[in-house]
Amino acid sequence: MSSRKFQADLDEETIEELKEQLSKRKADFEALLKENRNQVVEISILRRLRKRFIDEIEESSTKEDEMEVKEEPEVPRDVGLLTILVFSLSMVAFYYFCSYLVRKYSLG
């Protein structure tokens, strides 16, 4: 009953003002909702870009690490063995050369 009494107390002019205020608030709400949706889309785009940027940084750092490993080539084991063999043969040759010189120039 009180709602009917309230409606009866309001005149037509007040009802029209309230309807205008309601339509303005509805338009404002819809504008805010649309702006909010745009911001949500922008945020999701920024998140994707940030993730892509982080992934690219990680990939480039792993590539740099791989390049650093490639810059330091490992010496194969065969090269070490070859060095030992050449050194040993040169020592043997030096021994025979010295013994030849001793035999040639000795006083005996």
pLDDT value of residue 71: 63
What value does the mean pLDDT take over residues 76-96? 89
Dist CA 46 CA 48 (whole Å): 5
Widest CA span in the chain: 150
What value does the mean pLDDT take over residues 56-71? 75
What angle (nearest 5°) sits at the alpha carbon of residue 64, between those of residues 62 and 65? 65
What are the structural domain ranges in the chain? 1-73, 74-108
What value does the mean pLDDT take over residues 1-10? 59
Give the SS3 label for residue 76: coil
Give pLDDT tens digits for 7-33: 556 788 888 888 999 999 999 889 888
Q: Where are the alpha helices (DSSP H) in 1-76?
A: 2-9, 12-71
Distance, CA of 7 to chain centre:
65
What value does the mean pLDDT take over residues 84-90? 94
pLDDT value of residue 33: 87
Dist CA 68 CA 11 (whole Å): 85
* CA 84, 90, 91, 92 torsion-angle sign: positive
